[in-house]
């Protein structure tokens, strides 16, 4: 299933923790779903095996939600039981906001450049750049959404890369599906999208 694809973004809510945890899927199999925890957003708590958690996974075209239990907690990684039932499936569950933000990017192919974000959601964004082509399959993005705050940094997989005409100019349109974002940056992005 698409839900368990490596690098899909995962949110884990544990009743005894004040904030959700974030990670990406490393692999999934009969022994469970292995999650790599992201950055420094992990508080130093031990989550005991068999703890009930609520999980949301961002797939390519939907968000999947279910309840399951912890199998192993190793601070930088968590293994979850394969759920028996997926509670609900929502297509485009998060709003997409039209915008005009300056972005700086670097691809995994070593290419650097600047562009403009045209719309964004918590799961991804669409941007244009004057670059002739985009070299690589993923990129890091830095953009300032509030002038008085530090830039938001996200990492994502390139899911669209095509030449278009925008404002009477030939540009490159890039669609990005986010695969990594820190908890503070995610909170700021949600605040911006809902503003």
pLDDT in the model for residue 183: 79
Q: How far apart are CA 98 and CA 116, in angstroms?
A: 11
Round to whole Å and give the CA distance between 126 and 119: 5
The DSSP output letter for 176 is E
- 65 or 154: whose pLDDT is higher? 154
Residue 177 reports pLDDT greater than 60: yes
The reported pLDDT for the residue numbered 43 is 53
Comparing CA positions, the residue from 41, 28, 32 lying closest to residue 14 is: 41
Q: Would the pLDDT of 124 be above 60?
A: yes
Q: How confident is the model at residue 173 (pLDDT cuts 50, 70, 90)?
A: very high
Q: What is the pLDDT of residues 1-51, one digit of tens each?
A: 567 888 788 888 888 777 778 888 999 988 899 998 875 445 556 678 899
pLDDT at 130: 92
| pTM given for the model | 0.54
Q: What is the pLDDT, as a whole number, of residue 8? A: 80
Which secondary structure element, helix H or strand E, spans residue 183, and what is its range? helix 183-193
CATH of range 97-193; options 2.40.10.220, 2.30.110.10, 1.10.40.30, 1.25.40.10? 2.40.10.220
Cα separation, 8 vs 35, in Å, equals: 10
Q: Which option is the CATH number for 2-90: 2.60.40.2890, 2.40.10.220, 3.90.1260.10, 2.60.40.10?
A: 2.40.10.220
Q: What is the mean pLDDT of residues 141-170?
A: 91
Q: 2-90 and 97-193: same fold?
A: yes
73-94: pLDDT as tens digits: 876 789 999 988 886 655 555 5
Where do the structural domains in the chain lie, given as residue ranges?
2-90, 97-193
């Amino acid at each position: 299933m698409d839900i368990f694809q490596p690098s899909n973004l995962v949110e884990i809510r544990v009743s005894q923790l004040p904030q959700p945890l974030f990670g990406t899927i490393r692999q999934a199999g009969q022994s469970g779903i292995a999650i790599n925890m992201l950055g420094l957003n992990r508080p130093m708590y031990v989550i005991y095996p068999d703890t009930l958690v609520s999980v949301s996974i961002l797939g390519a075209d939907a968000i999947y939600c279910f309840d399951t239990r912890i199998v192993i907690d190793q601070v930088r990684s968590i293994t979850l039981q394969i759920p028996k039932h997926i509670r609900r499936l929502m297509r485009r569950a998060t709003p997409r906001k039209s915008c005009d933000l300056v972005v700086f990017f670097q691809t995994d192919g070593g290419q650097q450049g600047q562009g403009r974000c045209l719309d964004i959601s918590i799961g991804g964004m669409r941007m244009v750049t004057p670059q002739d082509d985009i070299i690589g399959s993923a990129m890091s993005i830095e953009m300032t959404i509030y002038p008085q705050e530090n830039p938001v940094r996200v990492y994502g997989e390139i899911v669209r890369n095509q030449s278009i005409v925008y404002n009477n100019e030939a540009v490159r349109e890039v669609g990005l599906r986010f695969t990594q974002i820190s908890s503070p940056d995610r909170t700021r992005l949600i605040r911006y999208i809902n503003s």
